[in-house]
Amino acid sequence: MIQFKYEYLLPIGSIVRLKNGERKLMIFGILQRERENPDQVFDYVAVPYPEGMQDMRLNVCFNHDDIEEIICRGYEDDDRKAFLLLLEATMWKMEQKKREE
């Protein structure tokens, strides 16, 4: 079986608790940047659970290593597998372009 670089990413809809975190968070995006720190790419962006999106200032960007507990994995199907393949190819192309510069 082929191992992909981004296979570790949890699907959107996953509910997690971060290390030293009190609140549950629901992941709604992956490989995201914060406005305040556009040079850094985070594995995830999430909103408080169960409230969801109320204010963009409450969005939380974090990396997989910051997760203490996975409470519930989000939905996964063939569309997600295809997305991960596309993500892998896109990121590979971006890395190749950077090396050429």
Task: Note the pTM of the prediction, 2 decimals.
Answer: 0.82
pLDDT at 12 (0 to 100): 95
- Identify which of 50, 43, 49 has the alpha carbon closest to the alpha carbon of residue 87: 43
The full set of domain ranges for the chain reads: 15-100
pLDDT at 51 (0 to 100): 92
Q: What type of residue is 33?
A: R
Residues linked to residue 48 through DSSP beta bridges, in sequence order: 25
pLDDT at 48 (0 to 100): 95
pLDDT at 4 (0 to 100): 64
* Mean pLDDT, the chain cut into blocks of 10 residues (101 residues total): 73 96 94 79 93 88 96 94 88 78 73
Edge-to-edge strand list for the sheet holding 41-49: 60-62, 41-49, 24-33, 15-18, 67-72
pLDDT at 93 (0 to 100): 82
